[in-house]
Amino acid sequence: MRLATQIEALLYLQARPVPLKELSERLGQDRVAVEEALLELLDDYAHRDSALEIAETEGGYSLQLRGVFQSLIHDLVPAELGAGALRTLAAIALKSPILQTDLIDLRGSGAYPQVKELVERGFVRKRRSPEGRSYWLEVTEKFHQYFEVDQLPR
């Protein structure tokens, strides 16, 4: 698999700016290789007709919706959940049940407040694992009703 494709997947899953150093560490690649793959990915997104873009920010690189599509967020995304929380919820739903530690490995430490919000809103159930070092996370009946999802693919 191309390094650029791996970077794209990582940026999507993190849903936050990821510093170059972290990209290198998570992908087990040197900085130069990651920079070259990022340039390839930036060029690829610049030349495709896509609603997404790779953006460089102070915090690192992120995969985000192009500015011209920001108005769609208000129409399509449930107002009470941000894009990051929705991605975290999607990860929990697809892997349910999932250990919170595994979710954090997948989504980054920014998922902690998102999990808290999802539990408070009743979309996710959290129960201590028998080992006691983490929590099992799974979607609730409210999730299934709210998103009109009967069954999730396994």
Single out the residue in 37, 69, 101 at which a domain terminates: 69
Encode the chain in three state secondary structure. Answer: CCHHHHHHHHHHHHCCCECHHHHHHHHCCCHHHHHHHHHHHHHHHHCCCCCEEEEEECCEEEEEECHHHHHHHHHHCCCCCCHHHHHHHHHHHHHCCEEHHHHHHHHCCCHHHHHHHHHHCCCEEEEECCCCCCEEEEECHHHHHHCCCCCCCC
pLDDT confidence of residue 111:
92
Q: What is the pTM of this model?
A: 0.50
Residue 122's pLDDT band (cuts 50, 70, 90)? confident
The residue-averaged pLDDT of 131-140 equals 89
Q: Is residue 151 part of a domain?
A: no
Single out the residue in 43, 69, 95 at which a domain terminates: 69
Q: Are residues 138 and 90 in the same domain?
A: yes
Q: How many domains does the chain have?
A: 2
Query: Which residue range forms the structural domain that includes residue 114?
Result: 77-146
Q: Kindly tell me if the per-residue pLDDT of 153 is higher than 70.
A: no
Q: Are residues 61 and 86 in the same domain?
A: no
Structure-model confidence comparison of residues 113 and 146, the more confident one: 113
Convert the pLDDT of each residue in 30-61 to its tens digit.
Answer: 999 999 999 999 999 888 888 888 888 888 99
Q: Is residue 84 part of a domain?
A: yes
Q: Are residues 65 and 110 in the same domain?
A: no
Q: Is residue 138 part of a domain?
A: yes
Give the CATH number for residue 116. Answer: 1.10.10.10
Q: Are residues 130 and 83 in the same domain?
A: yes
Convert the pLDDT of each residue in 67-118 to its tens digit.
Answer: 776 665 555 555 577 888 988 998 998 888 999 999 999 899 989 999 999 9
Single out the residue in 69, 95, 116 at which a domain terminates: 69
